[in-house]
Structure formats: C-alpha cells, structure tokens
Structure 1
Amino acid sequence: MSWPGDRRSRLQRRVEGFPWWSLTKSIGLLPLSSSHTIDYRMKVEQEYPLSSCEVGLVDFGRPQSLLIDMDGKEERSPNSPSIYNQRELDLVVRLLDRFPEDKTNDIMII
C-alpha cells in the first residue's frame, strides 16, 4: 500500500524520541504530533495545556496531544462491548483530574 507523500514515515519521524510517561505500571502516555491548526494556534497564542505546571505531561513547545497505550490483559465487563471500557473511563477521569477544573471544558477526547 502506498501512502500519499510518504505520510507514514513523516508520522514516524514526528514521534521518534518522545519519552513515555506512566500513570500506572501498565498505562503509558506518548505525545504525538497534532494537526497544523492546533500547532499554529499554540505558536500564535502560546497555549500549551499539557505542558502547564498543573499537568506537566509534555515538554513546552511539543505538540499537545497524547496517545494512550494500554495492555490487553483486562477481562470483559458484562455491561460493556469493550474489554477496556472501565479502564478507559478510569484513565480519562484520572487524566482530567490533572487539569484545573476551569480548563476541562476546553479538552477534546477522541
């Protein structure tokens, strides 16, 4: 399969050298490159929400998005189609707790 403009290697180059942060032994956070629009807004408005003193997940000047990596050893919940659903929710709650309460409305979770 061919990638337009060698998109795959560009993305790979963007994530090289980023360190891992651990919220627990089995959950890590890896900063990834964000879209051009977000990068432009950060440069113009100097907004680095994941780099703030309260959160401290990404170095200042780095793209402000995260990829969440979870291991696959969870049991399926009878109430959820996702084997990770409860763990994902717990992680999102812990992650949002790191932000000041007045900033959580500005966060997009995909």
Structure 2
Amino acid sequence: MHWINLSLLLILAAGLIMLWRRLGRYRALLATLQEDHRALAGTWGRLPPDAAELLAQQRTAVISIEILNPIELAAQESEFAGPISTIAPNLIRRIVYQKTAAILRTELSEKGVQADVKVHGLA
C-alpha cells in the first residue's frame, strides 16, 4: 500500500511539474500577445494604407461605405452563413463586401455612372 501511495505522489508531482512548465509558456505567450495588442491599439481607427493613398491623390471626393451588419446580410442570403460566421467571421465579411462592391459596380454602370469601386482594408 505504501508503494501505491508513493507512486501516486510521484505521478502527481510529475503532472505538477508539467503544468508549471506549461504555465510558463502560456505566460510568455500572453506577454507577446499583450505587446502585439499595445502595438495594434496605436493604429486603431487609422485609415488603411490603401485608403490613405486614395485620399492623398487630390481627388475631389471619395464615398466610404462601412457595412455594419455583414453577418445578418449573409444569413439572409444563405442558411449556412450563420454557422460559418462563428468559425470564419472574416471570410463572411470579405464575401459580403465583395458582393456589395459587385452590386454597386453593376447598379452604377446601369445608371451611367463611371465609378472606380474598390474594397479596401480586407486581408
């Protein structure tokens, strides 16, 4: 019985050492993520580089559209968009913006408007 208790104690000690090492790795990862967060927080709200270049080209005006409900729009078009948006929300946003740009190009062209419709800021 004494050997069983000693074996269990050694197994628990080994598990504790493994967890302690893993905690150290997670702390290092957390520190890296916090540094990245601070770096990104400084750029929050700035225009994407391509949009900033667009505005610097001495054009008379630029219309900017931000779609506030891309997930709901996608869900109206496809029953699969809702579940997919929980896994890949950026993919859904990209598709919605691309489809919106295509619709704008078509509608503006039908109205005789010569426009350069581009999507900025999607990676």
The structure with the largest alpha-carbon Rg is: 2
* More strand per residue: 1
* More helix per residue: 2
Pairwise same-fold verdict (TM > 0.5): no
TM-score tier after normalising by the smaller chain length: 0.3 to 0.5
